[in-house]
Amino acid sequence: MGRIGKGVNCSVSGCNREAIRSLSTGKAKSAGLNVGSNEKRVYVCKEHYKEFKKKTKKDKTIDKWRYST
C-alpha cells in the first residue's frame, strides 16, 4: 500500500485536498505547479492533476511525433 492509499494530502502549496496521483518533482515544477518540497515525488489532487495534464499536453504530442515510426 502506497502513500496515496494511506491518504496523503496534495503537495501544492495552499491545497489540503486528498492526493490521487504522484508525479516527479521536476515534471511538476516544469508544468508550473507551485510545489516547495525537495523530495523525489510530489502528490497532487484531482484538480491539480487536471491542470498538469493541460500544461503538458503539447510536450507529450511533440514527443509522440518525434518517436513515431
Domain-by-domain residue ranges, the chain?
3-67
Whole-number pLDDT of residue 69: 66
Question: What is the DSSP code (8-state) at residue 39?
Answer: S
**In this structure, what is the dihedral angle of CA atoms 15, 48, 55, 61, given to the nearest 10 degrees?**
150
Predicted pLDDT at 1: 73
* Set of cell numbers at residue 33: 505547479
Query: Cell for 50?
Result: 487536471
**CA nearest 41: which of 56, 19, 58, 60?**
19
Would you state the pLDDT for residue 68?
A: 82
**Residues in CB range of 49: below 8 A, 6 or more apart:** 20, 21, 23
**pLDDT tens column, 7-64:** 999 999 999 999 999 999 999 999 999 998 788 999 999 999 999 999 999 999 999 9
- pLDDT at 17 (0 to 100): 95
pLDDT at position 10: 94
